[in-house]
Amino acid sequence: MMQFDFHSTRSILVERGGAANLAKIIQARGGKSVLIVTDPGVLSAGLLSQSQQGFKDLGIALDVFSQVQADPPISVIENAVNAAQQCRADYIVGFGGGSSMDVAKLVALLATGKEKLSEVYGVGVAKGPRLPLILVPTTAGTGSEVTTISIVTVSDSEKKGVVSPQLLPDLALLDAQLTLGLPSHVTAATGIDAMVHAIEAFTTKRLKNPISDCLAKEALRLLASNLHRAVRSGNDIEARENMLLGACLAGMAFTNAPVAGVHALAYPIGARFHVPHGLSNALMLGPVMRFNLEQVHFMYAELGQIIQPGLLGSTLDQATQLADYLGSLATELGLPGRLTDVGITENDINQLAADAMLQTRLLMNSPREITLQDAAALYAEAL
């Protein structure tokens, strides 16, 4: 018997140049005092300027919190919540990559003063209410604009998730023009992150369902056929738009059919060594796929026909070829390909493996159980 539950963002607006209409959209929804949550990189790239002009033109109060850091720590969230309370924001906009959108989600939740960050970690713990929330991605990666998740770096070694339908925004605005200037290494890393979302959603042990499967496959079709183009020619708006949509579809898939081993092993790399999220995933993708081959080779083979049409041989052969191809994708796109390239040595493996074991929320979704010894072996393979 089939039984599943599917959540997504209520409205998704896809429009080139649409960010210029942000103020109009918020005015139509009754917002009067807006806080945009972003990071210094997005601000200095000038990505906010068109939106800001709109607020001036319409006379809507606007404050900008631009102190988000990648892999946001607790202090950043607290500061952003304070900023929202001080300017009495009645509308929150997350404008940037996953880091800015994740902070904005928690600001919308916590600025009401009803819940505390320390009390909302985990699945379904945050109850709301929250302030109205719009998310505007400027990377094509996390899909945070359609996920129920916000990731917080809680210590030098650990990332925790707040997971609740309350964190889905009221509107996601996908404006591909905002992603034109994304540097090629960020395009590559975030694009691989999105591919990993789709692959892990399709092969997850828990909550896989026909809707998430459709979304994951279409996401991979868009991502695999546009990633190289977007990395090579950043100004190719069509490739950028396809990447943004692909990342969004992958987000819709994995928020309902959750990610697993690649993310569980990638998070400690991000937390301890400050390796960008997409790159951490890229480094662990090949080893984890090879580890899962026996359990899900037929699913990998199905995805292989989308990512690399024409793969030949048994499903196990096709799946193996796909794992090898994806394992070398980072290097092919000009990113570091091994853990040693990002400063990780053999001496770090036991600590990383112990950290990964704390990611129980993700490990429980793995198609093959990952023990402490397995985690250490997977890191060793990725060295």
Q: Is 144 in the site for ligand NAD (CB under 6 A)?
A: yes
Q: Is 199 left (phi over 0), alpha (psi -120 to 50) or beta?
A: alpha
Q: Figure out which of the listed residues 8, 21, 147, 212 binds ligand NAD, where binding follows CB under 6 A.
A: 147
Joined tokens for residue 325: 């191809």
In the complex with ligand NAD, which residue's Cβ is closer, 247 or 378?
247
In the complex with ligand NAD, which residue's Cβ is closer, 160 or 217?
160
Which 290-349 positions form the footprint of ligand NAD (CB under 6 A)?
A: none
Rounded least distance, CB 317 to ligand NAD, Å: 31
Number of residues that bind Fe ion (CB under 5 A): 1
User: For residues 165 and 255, what is the distance between their CA atoms, to the nearest angstrom?
Assistant: 10
Residue type, 240: R
Burial of 309 (0-12, 13-18, 19+ CB in 10 A): exposed
Number of residues that bind ligand NAD (CB under 6 A): 31
Which DSSP string corresponds to 317-374?
Answer: HHHHHHHHHHHTHHHHTTS--SGGGGT--GGGHHHHHHHHTT-HHHHTT-SS---HHH
Which alpha helices (H) appear in 204-307, and where do they start and end? Answer: 210-232, 237-256, 261-273, 277-307
User: For residues 272 and 84, what is the distance between their CA atoms, to the nearest angstrom?
Assistant: 30
Q: Figure out which of the listed residues 34, 64, 171, 186 binds ligand NAD, where binding follows CB under 6 A.
A: 186
Q: Is 17 in the site for ligand NAD (CB under 6 A)?
A: no
Q: Is 151 in the site for ligand NAD (CB under 6 A)?
A: yes
Q: Is 178 in the site for ligand NAD (CB under 6 A)?
A: yes
Rounded least distance, CB 93 to Fe ion, Å: 22
Q: Figure out which of the listed residues 39, 145, 193, 302 binds Fe ion, where binding follows CB under 5 A.
A: 193
Q: What is the largest CA-CA distance in the chain?
A: 63
Q: Give the binding range for ligand NAD (CB under 6 A) out of 106-114, 185-193, 295-303, 340-348.
A: 185-193
In the complex with Fe ion, which residue's Cβ is closer, 193 or 218?
193
In the complex with ligand NAD, which residue's Cβ is closer, 36 or 301?
36
